[in-house]
Structure 1
Amino acid sequence: MSSPGGSQVRKMRFSSFVRKVLLEVPSPTEQDWPQDDEKDFAFKDSEQELESLPQPYRMINKVVNLLFDQAWEVIVKRDALREAEHSRVQPTIYLPLVESKLNKMPNCMAVSQDYVFIGGAKGFSIHNLYDAKRLYIWEKLKVDVTSIWAADLGSEILIAPVDETGIARLFYFCKDGLFLIKAINEVDDTSKQTTCLKTEISHGGDFAAFLLQGAGEIWLDVYRLPKESWLKEVEQPQLAINPKKKVRQLQLNTPDSVTSDNLEMDINICFRGDIKLSLPVHIMKIKPPKPVTGTTFKSPLEVFAKIEDCYGLGSGQNHFIKDTQWEQQEAIFKALFKKYLDGEWGEERLSMATFHFLLPGRVTTMPADVKSPSGVACVLGIHWTGNHNFFLYSLNRTLKDKADPEGVWPCAAPIAVSQLSCCCSYLVLACEDGVLTLWDLAEGR
């Protein structure tokens, strides 16, 4: 049995244990909570720990982090590009149906109807547009062809190649026959040879213009093309074909892989040098506008008395400035820009021309007595480099007529670029001051 004293001792020990272990229950209000001292807490930056590393480990750590950041930027950019590429609608890719390997790199190409005309060494070749087969090759020049144009005349094609010497020629391709019409600027005296810089054929092939240069001058020759006469002359040739004269055909240049069926079809194209077609009619020769110079006229009445054609007044033409005024303006100009004028000046370049054949419309009206079929060009629009004016020349004239413009469109700044739409209904003029003008030729606005 346990004694009563032992139980009292056990009770005293338990009560002392409870007093030591029992936790204090906080009051329900936040104000009675114990306040922690923020000074007893210290936060250390991870970078400060890295800064405490000894060299060279600290430098190695920085280089590794820099490489990781740069690599991550590249990964983010590539991922953004990949997402954008997947979200974009992929275009349909059409593989070539047929391929035709050429022996040499072509200098120029032109497409019309179902044919491709490729200019190369000593001539040009004719290829089928659909099966890429070479149908004929014309090589009768001593130099290469550098540029070539082709115009659709309906059932016929007009071809205008230009060789390295600058000679332009006109070919007529009709009913699988190739006819040489004329060498436009070829002369017997080589010292008087001119160079063709640019060629333009009107829509439908009724007119052609050639920009020529020679003897320090530049001008534009405009021709009327008798395509109706050409078609009659091809259908009813005046000269009989000489059977002893061999005609150069594709058989001389056909690869061995061509079958006999294709060969029989291809040899129909031949060069018909025995038939002479009507020559183009030269209707106009246009030269660049002359610069404004001083005049000796003393009064405006004297100016009006000497002017033959007064229709151009106020439209950017027929300006007259007295010699004294011109000298004053020149002196002022030299005084203002003396430091720029002291250097050596290079040779002055010739003025180039950009020209377009315009169809009848509200802007390009036709005379009442002139009847022209629809779709035939009636006006030649031209502007020269460094000039403010866009000139309009009527195509219904002869060479005897004076080549004066029937209309002038003055601009505030020199015209830098012009472009005519494929349907010949819209004309764009871009000036050097940044102004862009779009003309609706059919509506006249």
Structure 2
Amino acid sequence: MEAAYKTETLRKKIPTLELSGETQLPESTNCMACSEDGRYLSLGHSQGLSVWCASSLICIAEWLQDRLEVTSIQITSMAEKVYLLGTVDDMGVARVFAYHCERIHLLSVINIMENINTRIICLTFELSEGGGYGAASFSCNGSVWLEVCHFPSEAWLKELEIAESKKQEPNSSEDVDVNWSPVAVVIKIKPPRIPGTTLDDPLEVLQMPAFFTNCLALDVITSSSHQWDEQSSDTDVGKTNESPRRCTQHFLLPCGFIKPNSQPAGFPIAVGVWWSGSHNLFQYLLQKNPKNKADVEPVPDVLWPNAKEILCSAVSRCTRYVALGLEDGLVCVWDRQSASPLPVVSVSAADSAFCRMQIVDYCPKSADDSQTFTAAKVSLLVLCKSGVIHTVTTGRGGQPCTAQLNERPNDSGELQTVTASVRFLQSLLLVVQRNGKIFLQDVIKKTIVCFLILPATHLIASPCTPVYVLDTKQQTLFIKGDPELSCNASSKGGSQSQLFIFHFGEPDIFKKNIVSLPDSPGQQNTPSCATLEESCSLYLQQRALSVDERHKAITQTWKQLQETAVAVEQRHSRAAAS
């Protein structure tokens, strides 16, 4: 009782952000997204999707279809006043739409269900920024794979203009028939395997000469080791686990000595992929398959091996840094500029594994910081399954540091379902808990800055998976709220779900935290190299600047080895004496 009283007293001293507005949502709104320029909201709901003006909250256009429930949606700008939308419905069908001149056009269905017995289900679908590519992971009869599609942007823009001109003609019908250009599959990636190799004797696999094959063998042996122990009497000993593996992919912009071939600025040139249970991160160039070789297995152009299994990942906005959360509390950040890792960080999270991580792109710089790669620092937020959040900072020429942001929650209701860095508010973190509480937390002072409270008539919709979006341009949070069952249905808002709006740019409590951000990843200062020789030269400079740091690490490692050797020798002596 005393602890609860202190908590309530502390909460009363913390300011509350006033609600800026609300509006009624379409029935069964499952997801929402905001365009990069902050002009439009896209909503996925029962019977289709709709596009809203983000400032006036007026529905501008909608696309409806009976017995269809959109469960995932994304929006990105393809050209001036033209936006591309990617959706997945409750049947696992992915679609691509275009919003143009206050109309929504269905451009392509990515996985058409031709045979009900071999249904290809889309698990995830992601559009690249700028709408040049789409990455979809599929599942069918126990098999999983990733497909990256190239969108014919220029052809679609011309076809949209033709469709609009037909709409303007007198006596034109509401539906205009347009033969939209088809999407092209650039690359199809399956979970890595070792062809022609059985695992009856794992030592034989490790003795294979190819380094690349040995890296793959590490994944297979690790994921199969439990089976050798549990099924030692089975005739299928050593076979790999055939349960579906999930993949995580990230679109990667040009970086290092890899340059795009006739690719528009701001478009990705590669995709980074890792599979559940894997130690390895792969990078595949987005090149079209040669003719008559559609079934050829693609080979990654870069492989980043890691000492432990990958649990989660994040990519910086400029895609130079790829951060990996590994088993045993390890964080590894790969620098694509030099193709080498930053110092690996060990986080004291032995009691709980990592589940999510995010790179904080904006970090305050001192006047002495140069704009070269040598002074680059990477800051991350790492969330553990136990609910503990850690901040991690690593970089060249300095000692990595970590800090625990909160204590492990005693109540399951205090577990975080959302931990998002607010890009336009320096050092502030948006937190949503299972119990429905929303607040902003200062990651440096480790204090709650303010609470965001919905009206008493409503609660956060599905607090375990809240439907929300942060508009970085308007510095606004949009979040869905459902009616409180205990309240009268005739009260304000009725029985419908509402969209609640919180503006962060107006209150004085945030003015010191507001920062200006670059409009695109390309505006960030990311050095590049024209040749392999220049990249090697940069790497050697990094090595020279980190001599002291590496010397300290080696000294510490030898000290730990010596202490371990003494402890083992003492243990053996005691065992022999007994």
Question: 1:284·1:399 contact (CA, 8 Å) conserved in 2?
Answer: no
Q: State the secondary structure of the residue aligned to 1:140.
A: strand
Matched, 1:397 2:292: no
Which of 415, 424, 427 is the matching residue for 2:319? 424
Query: How many angstroms does 1:388 deviate by?
Result: 1.0
Give the Cα separation in 2 of the matches to 1:223 and 1:350. Answer: 22
Deviations 1:294-334 (A, max 9, x none): 3899x99x977xxxxx7x64772488x9xxxx9xx989943
**Residues 315 and 409 in structure 1, CA contact (< 8 A), matched pair in contact too:** no
Which AA in structure 1 matches 2:255? G
Contact 1:315 1:410 in 2 (8 A): no
In the alignment, the residues of structure 2 paired with residue 277 and residue 427 of structure 1 have an alpha-carbon distance, to the nearest angstrom, of: 36
Are the aligned partners of 2:279 and 2:308 in contact in 1 as well (CA < 8 Å)? yes
Give the Cα separation in 2 of the matches to 1:148 and 1:396: 26
Whether 2:69 is the aligned partner of 1:144: answer yes
Distance 1:443 1:318 in 2: 26
Q: Does structure 2 retain, via aligned residues, the 8 Å contact 1:200–1:356? A: no
TM-score (norm 2): 0.49
* Superposed CA offset, 1:78-116 (max 9, x none): 57974x568x6736x24324x221252311111114121
Does residue 382 of the first structure (1) align with residue 264 of the second (2)?
Answer: no
Aligned match of 1:259: none
Deviations 1:11-69 (A, max 9, x none): xxxxxxxxxxxxxxxxxxxxxxxxxxxxxxxxxxxxxxxxxxxxxxxxxxxxxxxxxxx
Write the mapping of 1:289-438 to structure 2, written as runs, cut at 5 A: 289-290=192-193, 293-294=197-198, 313=212, 316-317=215-216, 333-334=228-229, 349-362=243-256, 365-366=257-258, 370-398=261-289, 400=291, 402=296, 403-438=298-333
The 3-state SS of whatever aligns with 2:23 is coil
> Within the alignment, does 1:184 sit opposite 2:110 as a pair?
yes
Counterpart among 48, 52, 69 of residue 123 in structure 1: 48
Decide which of 279, 282, 288 is 2:182's aligned counterpart.
279
- Supply the distance in 1 between the matched residues of 2:227 and 2:65 (Cα, whole angstroms): 58
2:32 is matched with which residue? 109
Conserved 8 A contact 1:107-1:145: yes
Aligned 8 A contact 1:209 1:221 in 2: yes
1:193 aligned partner? 119
What is the CA-CA distance between 1:226 and the residue it aligns to? 1.7
> Counterpart of 2:85 in 1: which secondary structure?
strand
Counterpart residue type for residue 170 of structure 1? V
Note if contact 1:361-1:443 (Cα within 8 Å) is conserved in structure 2: no
Q: How far is the alpha carbon of 1:215 from its aligned partner?
A: 2.1
Conservation of the 8 A alpha-carbon contact between 2:70 and 2:89: yes
- Three-state SS of the structure 1 residue aligned to 2:178 is coil
Deviation at 1:77, TM superposition (A): 8.2
Against the structure 1 CA distance between its residues 103 and 409, is the aligned structure 2 distance closer, same or farther, given a 3 Å change threshold? Answer: closer
Q: Deviations over 1:136-159 (max 9, x none)?
A: 221124321121122222422111
Could you tell me how far apart the structure 1 residues matched to 2:281 and 2:134 are?
A: 19
Aligned mate of 1:209, from 126, 129, 135: 135
Shift of 1:177: 2.9
Matched, 1:133 2:58: yes
Q: CA RMSD in A?
A: 3.9
Match in the other structure for 1:255: none
Higher relative contact order (CA 8 A, sep 6+): 2
Distance (whole Å) between structure 1 residues aligned to residue 121 and residue 290 of structure 2: 21
Q: Measured at CA, do residues 366 and 273 of structure 1 come closer, stay the same or move farther in structure 2, by a change above 3 Å?
A: farther
Residue 180 of structure 1 deviates from its aligned partner by: 1.2
Write the letter of the residue equivalent to 1:356: H
> What SS does structure 2 have at the residue aligned with 1:122?
strand
Which stretch shifts more, 211-220 or 273-282? Answer: 273-282
Distance 1:107 1:399, change over 3 A: farther
Letter in 2 for 1:101: Q
Q: 2-side partners of 1:331 and 1:131: how far apart?
A: 57
Return the letter of the residue paired with 2:251.
Answer: F
Q: CA 1:245/1:144 → structure 2, altered by over 3 Å: closer, same or farther?
A: farther
Deviations for 1:260-317, whole angstroms, at most 9, x for unmatched residues?
Answer: xxxxxxxxxxxx64223222111111111126843899x99x977xxxxx7x647724
Q: After TM superposition, give the deviation of residue 126 of structure 1 in Å.
A: 1.7
Q: 1:220 to 1:133 in 2, by over 3 A?
A: same
Greater alpha carbon shift after TM alignment, 395-404 vs 177-186? 395-404
Higher helix proportion (structure 1 or 2): 1
- In structure 2, relative to structure 1, the CA distance for the partners of 1:276 and 1:94 (3 Å cut) is farther
Tell me, in whole angstroms, the C-alpha distance in 2 between the residues paired with 1:377 and 1:331: 39
Aligned to 2:392: none
Deviation at 1:417, TM superposition (A): 0.6
Unmatched runs of 5 consecutive residues or more in structure 2? 234-240, 343-578
Residue 414 (structure 1) shift: 1.4
SS in 1 for 2:24: coil
CA contact (8 A) 1:167 1:195 kept: yes
Larger of the two Rg values belongs to structure: 1
Contact in 2 for aligned 1:193/1:214 (Cα 8 Å): yes
SS of 1:209's partner is: strand
The answer on whether the counterparts of 2:253 and 2:318 sit within 8 Å (CA) in structure 1 is no
Deviation track 1:195-214 (CA, whole Å, cap 9, x = no partner) reads: 00001211222111110111
Distance 1:198 1:331 in 2: 29
Q: Do the aligned partners of 2:61 and 2:102 also contact (CA within 8 Å) in 1?
A: no
How many residue pairs get aligned? The number is 320
Distance 1:162 1:245, change over 3 A: farther
Q: Secondary structure at the match of 2:157?
A: helix
* CA distance in structure 1 between the partners assigned to 2:307 and 2:199 by the alignment: 24
CA drift of 1:442 comes to 4.5
Report the CA distance shift for 1:411/1:105 in structure 2 as closer, same or farther (over 3 A). same
Whether the aligned pair in 1 keeps the contact of 2:134 and 2:150 (CA below 8 Å) is yes
* 1:361 CA drift (Å): 1.1
Equivalents in 1 of 2:245, 2:11: separation in Å? 48
Gap change, CA 1:94 and 1:441, over 3 Å in 2? farther
